[in-house]
Structure 1
Amino acid sequence: MSILPLAGPSQTASPLLRLIAPDYADTLATLWPAPHTPFLTAAAARRHLVCLMLAVDPVGPVPLDVARLLEEPLRKAVRLVLDPAPDGLRRALERLGEIAWSPADYRALSVLLAEPATAKRLRHAETITPEQVRTLAALPATVRDAGGPAVRMTPPQAELLAEAHAMLSRRLTPTVLDERVRAWSQAANARALFGLVADDFRHELPKPPHPGTDRLKPLETVAAIRDAARRYRNCLEGYVDHALDERSAIYEWLPAPGAVIELTPDSFFGWRLDQARLRSNKGVDEATRQAIVAELRGMGLHVGRSAWQVRRALNQAASPGFKLEPLDAAIAEYFTDD
């Protein structure tokens, strides 16, 4: 169907009309000239139906008398706009609030109501908001169907989850990806869900730069790093992605009192000591410090100024009053609690 031919944009839309139907005010002012009484006094569901008509692409040659949208029984009026109409559209129109939606949101709602699982979810909602529809529309169908916290997140969060899903689909088989989606749906909240998705992007850690010794053991898996973070009560878990990207290698000093050690790659020296901490991020005592330094140097790893620190000192060395921090003091900073 198509609406009757309209004149050009009207300049007579009232402030109230522009408030409740901002995207359609000029067209509505042409259909119902000021003071727009039939439209403004109609029930919200009727107003939404008119705006939905303006949002969807008209089809067919039969002109539509828009007044019928306000007069016919709502179920019949809905079919004047969309025939066949998706199940639940009539009831949904009664829960869209007072303000007209954007054309894109109306079109997304129509598509979502055509999906049985999503339509059921919307039918049970006390109110339906544009944000809710944008979230559902952004999600892949399999994620929508699985439910869980994904369908309750914000539209930007849903967009990120959809992007992550698309990227994972390039690496995981459909069966494995479906298993992961089911796991996401069981998450307690959005934070837990995004943690699971982040884990799906984590692969096995690269080979450590040194196999370690009896006293200094590499933490070679994500699980091992997380276990050490729990035992040492620190933020070590935050270094998992650094280790995955070979920006860090994590080792554990086994003799009491125990310590976690981070090595980082250096442009000149290769892998070098970056920091070492006891439990709860406490600084390392002198005796343990000396033992760790000796062990690392015995493994052929650099303990000292980084290449960047050396270059910076060289750039400053010609300045009057230049002072060089003692090497022992520079090394001590790697073991000191910040």
Structure 2
Amino acid sequence: MSVITPAGAVLAGSPHTTSPLLRLIAPDYADTLAALWPAPHTPFLTAPAARRHLVCLMLASEPADARAVEVGALLDAPLRKVVRLVVDPAPDGLRRALERLGEIAWSPADYRALLTLLAEPATAKRLRHAEAITVEQIRTLAALPSSVREAGGTATRLTPAQAELLAEAHAMLRRRLSPGVLDDRVGAWSRAANTRTLFGLVADDFRHDLPKPPHPGTEKLRPLETIAAIRDAARRYRNCLDGYVDHALDERSAIYEWLPQPGAVIELTPDSFFGWRLDQARLQNNKGVDEATREAIVAELRGMGLHVGRSAWQIRRALNQAASPGFKLEPVDAAIAEYFTDD
């Protein structure tokens, strides 16, 4: 596509003075625009924003053929006619969209994204009903997978960075879920009331079944073997146990419940030397465990063959410090007591 100046000559590459105002409102195109409309650039600067966007869209578009465009016509002729001089065929809604893009010219990539989105019926309808169309909105929609855009909902109102994360999550889930199941999940995402709920749903889609617990448990000590069981315990014990779900999924924790009164939640963690070991235990509201209950839990865990004592890391750390003349070793019972103490 060649560009003809308002005076009728093909645009040349000679340098022109470019005003600060022109660089402000059309930073990606200022030098070319200065050649089309030399300083003080009055015809361009005083044109309606939609006209200026159309000119910049022309400069941003990949040339489809060798058609010559008289840029003067882009500022003067009826907008509905000259839109097709730049984009042919023009997607429905482009003319109206140009009138709601704001005062500052967009980057070439953002203009191209706008054209792509206007070619999608569901997205084009959404944009037609928007009072204003922002760069951030277009970047968000462009980042989302087409199925998520079509489903709509909270996802279409994310920030661009949030949309990129959702797109990455969608791509990963597509490798694991069947198309039908993934479509169902996208439908559930679209019904999320807010951003927090949306990302909570997506995170749950990455939470498969928990690994088998390291010990089947006893009559007194029951493993919490499902995500639902951990969340139910978090509700009953009124603590932050829900935040340990991902630890359990990645086998960084195993959660058990001490059933005799007063009841307690116990976290086991893997140890490089001892295997699974006691890491912490708490009563309701994260309160520390009384001495009698503590002794009963320790006896039950040791009876199950699980380690209760210093971790391998604690022992290595003590060995590294033991050569110091002032070295003191904390009694092992005191080390164990810390696992049951309210922080």
Alignment TM class, shorter chain as reference: over 0.9
Q: Following superposition, which runs of at least 4 residues in structure 1 exceed 6 angstroms of deviation?
A: none
- Structure 2 distance, partners of 1:119, 1:10, is 39
- Structure 1 distance, partners of 2:67, 2:338, is 81
- Structure 1 distance, partners of 2:172, 2:16, is 48
**Deviation (angstroms), 1:57:** 1.1
- Structure 2 distance, partners of 1:223, 1:6, is 68
Alignment of 1:78-117 (within 5 A): 78-117=83-122
**Deviation (angstroms), 1:141:** 0.5
Q: Which residue of 2 aligns with 1:198?
A: 203
The two structures, once aligned, show a CA RMSD in angstroms of 0.9
Alignment of 1:3 onto 2:3: yes
Q: Which residue of 2 aligns with 1:39?
A: 44
Alignment of 1:1-338 (within 5 A): 1-4=1-4, 5-8=10-13, 10-338=15-343
57-66 vs 155-164, greater mean Cα deviation = 57-66
- Asked whether the equivalents of residues 210 and 249 of structure 2 are also in contact (C-alpha less than 8 Å), the reply is yes
Letter in 2 for 1:164: A
Pairs aligned (count): 338
- Asked whether the equivalents of residues 318 and 329 of structure 2 are also in contact (C-alpha less than 8 Å), the reply is yes
**Deviation (angstroms), 1:11:** 4.3
**Deviation (angstroms), 1:190:** 1.0
- Asked whether the equivalents of residues 210 and 227 of structure 2 are also in contact (C-alpha less than 8 Å), the reply is yes
Summarize deviations over 1:267-307 as a string: whole Å, max 9, x none.
Answer: 11110000000111111111110110010001110000001
- Structure 2 distance, partners of 1:9, 1:185, is 52
**Structure 1-normalised TM-score?**
0.99
- Structure 2 distance, partners of 1:289, 1:10, is 83
- Asked whether the equivalents of residues 11 and 36 of structure 2 are also in contact (C-alpha less than 8 Å), the reply is yes
Letter in 2 for 1:168: L
5+ long unaligned stretches in structure 2 = 5-9
**Deviation (angstroms), 1:315:** 1.2
**Deviation (angstroms), 1:9:** 6.0
Letter in 1 for 2:160: P
Q: Once the two structures are aligned, what percentage of the paired residues are identical?
A: 83
- Structure 2 distance, partners of 1:322, 1:104, is 64
Summarize deviations over 1:227-259 as a string: whole Å, max 9, x none.
Answer: 101111111111111101111000000111110
**Matched residue SS, 1:97:** coil
10-19 vs 196-205, greater mean Cα deviation = 10-19
- Asked whether the equivalents of residues 184 and 193 of structure 1 are also in contact (C-alpha less than 8 Å), the reply is yes
**Matched residue SS, 1:51:** helix
**Structure 2-normalised TM-score?**
0.97
- Structure 2 distance, partners of 1:61, 1:214, is 82
- Structure 2 distance, partners of 1:283, 1:157, is 39
